[in-house]
Amino acid sequence: MEKLTYILGNELAEAFAEAGYDPAGVVVKVSDRPDLCEFQSSAAMPLAKTAHKAPLAIAEDVKAACDRMGRSFEIEAVRPGFLNMTVKPEFLADYIARMAKDSKCGIPEAEEAKKIIVDYGGPNVAKPLHVGHLRAAVIGESIKRILRAVGHDVLGDVHLGDWGLQIGLIIAELRVRNPELPYFDENADTYPEEAPFTISELEEIYPFASAKSKTDEAFREEALKATSELQSGRKGYRALWQKIMEISTRDLKKNYERLDVHFDLWKGESDVQEYIPGLIADLEERGIAKTDQGALIVDVSEEGDKKEVPPCIIRKSDGAALYATTDIATIYERMKLYHPDKIVYVVDKRQAMHFVQVFRTVRKAGITDEGTELVHVGFGTMNGKDGKPFKTRDGGVMRLESLLNEIEEGMETKIRDNKNVREEDAKKTAEMVALSAVKYGDLSNQAAKDYVFDTEKFTSFEGNTGPYILYTIVRCKSILERAGISEEEALNYSFRTPSGEAEKALMLDLADFGPVVADAARELAPHRICAYIYRLSNSFNHFYHGTRILAEEDASQKNYYLALLALTEKVLLCGINLLGFSAPDHM
């Protein structure tokens, strides 16, 4: 569906032509002074020079042309030459009626559909997910959904950290604890089906081994050796690694499922190791990489860098590949397998320099195409109320599971107290509302900013929160339920010309949904969707409080109200789906 501003822009351009002015640059925007008008255009301003006329005189000519032609808007010429516009209610009602029939709720298609990979999640195998992984998952999932909504072909990749020292640490520690296991016997050639640990054992082993490696030099050496033997293909270690992967991914999947986060690709760092030797040799041969104090580096500094960009190290002096090498190899593989137009990384902003180095290296090496876009959406830190990175009460790293449990429990109590939900639905409802609280609390902030995770604020049913949005949706649902019709049926009723301010404001907000989603997709900015659905919820609630919907005696007027309500519900549901959560029927 075309944007409302696009239709208005075309009509206004016709009036410019009719008045004898060049219509080429005419655009209409939503007003930034809603107290004065709904839409505005400054298209008369730049024409003053060529027309040898004051901008205000041009604007007045255009207004006169509009009046002669009959337009979908009222228009005024104001000093120094702006055009202030207000849409005619019948035009707006007609637009809204078309939106109600549109399967995409007015979301426009991107000008060019692209193949995009979103790299988000980035959990590390055998380590539990902690709150630091929450933002990557929540923001990445939303960006993926938004990009899909405007028609791009998107793949989400979890990009597991499954190849580093953490695996070597686990192997070394298991060897101390269970030296009799066949994985350590170099003559063994079959290994048991069953893993030699459970997920909770695995999660206990990693931090234990990691702490030990910091004080016990010999153990650290063992872990490094195990890592390198694993990487060079020692059979027993590969088999053990398989088991670690199996147990750990099963647990990760369960956790992401709970967050309503879904990846199309479960690839990881290990998948691209096979390309590394060839890539390194090639970079060295072509003189792109050079040796510096035993290490192999790519100089990626550029003229005009405001901050020093250190060289990208792709091989350490001991021969080991690094985090950057793996990311370079991953881009290589992605180009080979999927040929994306764009790769979006949703990763902590503290890794910004890493991505600058990696992106510059692949460009220099011609691994990507001329037009391939590489974008790092760096997010800030989730802090506690003390302004320091979010921790448990005793100062430890907060596991994601514990955080969700805590919030769900609090929400369940609240929901049971409200008594709007059947006893047997309380738990499920609490899960949905809790997820909205966590996700909306995160997404409503610009991703790059640090934010304070304030449980009390985020879980409130009032204010700019997920539960408030859900509450508004539930209100719509329950009115339709009481009217005895479905959303679909209500959307088939006829829209009328809005008679009051609140109705018109609601319609204008509804009409803005498509443009907002388009902006969010272009800017990779879920917070825009949050700001929008909050605005829409407010204007709906304003309308609701001033209108007797079910008590309306005129049947067709009542049906029109129900249609407006159903469209609001539909748009809000579509909005929260883009953010990655859903709404209960009651709460």
Nearer to ligand ARG, 332 or 345 (CB): 345
Nearer to ligand ARG, 119 or 503 (CB): 119
DSSP SS3 for 355:
helix
Cα distances from 2 to residues 95, 194, 343, 512, 535, in angstroms, run 10, 58, 28, 11, 22
Nearer to ligand ARG, 61 or 269 (CB): 269
CB of 26 to ligand ARG, least distance (A): 44
Nearer to ligand ARG, 77 or 382 (CB): 382
CB of 331 to ligand ARG, least distance (A): 9
Nearer to ligand ARG, 161 or 575 (CB): 161
Is the CB of residue 56 less than 8 Å from the CB of residue 77?
yes
Nearer to ligand ARG, 151 or 389 (CB): 389
Q: With the C-alpha atoms ordered 286, 289, 290, 296, is the resulting torsion angle positive or negative?
A: negative
User: What is the token pair recorded at 443?
Assistant: 């997404």
Beta bridge partners of 74: 86
Is the CB of residue 114 less than 8 Å from the CB of residue 257?
no
CB of 157 to ligand ARG, least distance (A): 8
Cα distances from 128 to residues 131, 200, 385, 460, in angstroms, run 10, 9, 23, 29
CB of 389 to ligand ARG, least distance (A): 14
Q: What residues contact 338, with CB distance under 8 A and at least 6 apart?
A: 115, 117, 155
Q: Which residue's beta carbon is nearest to the bound ligand ARG?
A: 122
Distance between CA atoms of residues 550 and 100, nearest Å: 21
Is the CB of residue 72 less than 8 Å from the CB of residue 11?
yes
Nearer to ligand ARG, 349 or 391 (CB): 349
User: What is the token pair recorded at 249?
Assistant: 């991914």
Pick from 48, 79, 75: which is nearest to 62 by CA? 75
CB of 120 to ligand ARG, least distance (A): 8
CB of 359 to ligand ARG, least distance (A): 11
Nearer to ligand ARG, 121 or 514 (CB): 121
**How many Cβ atoms from other residues are within 10 Å of residue 234's Cβ?**
18
Give the residues lining the site for ligand ARG (CB under 6 A).
Answer: 119, 122, 124, 159, 161, 327, 345, 347
Q: What residues contact 184, with CB distance under 8 A and at least 6 apart?
A: 175, 236
Q: What residues contact 264, with CB distance under 8 A and at least 6 apart?
A: 155, 156, 157
Is the CB of residue 157 less than 8 Å from the CB of residue 117?
yes
Beta bridge partners of 378: 347
CB of 217 to ligand ARG, least distance (A): 25
CB of 333 to ligand ARG, least distance (A): 12
CB of 202 to ligand ARG, least distance (A): 17
Nearer to ligand ARG, 152 or 159 (CB): 159
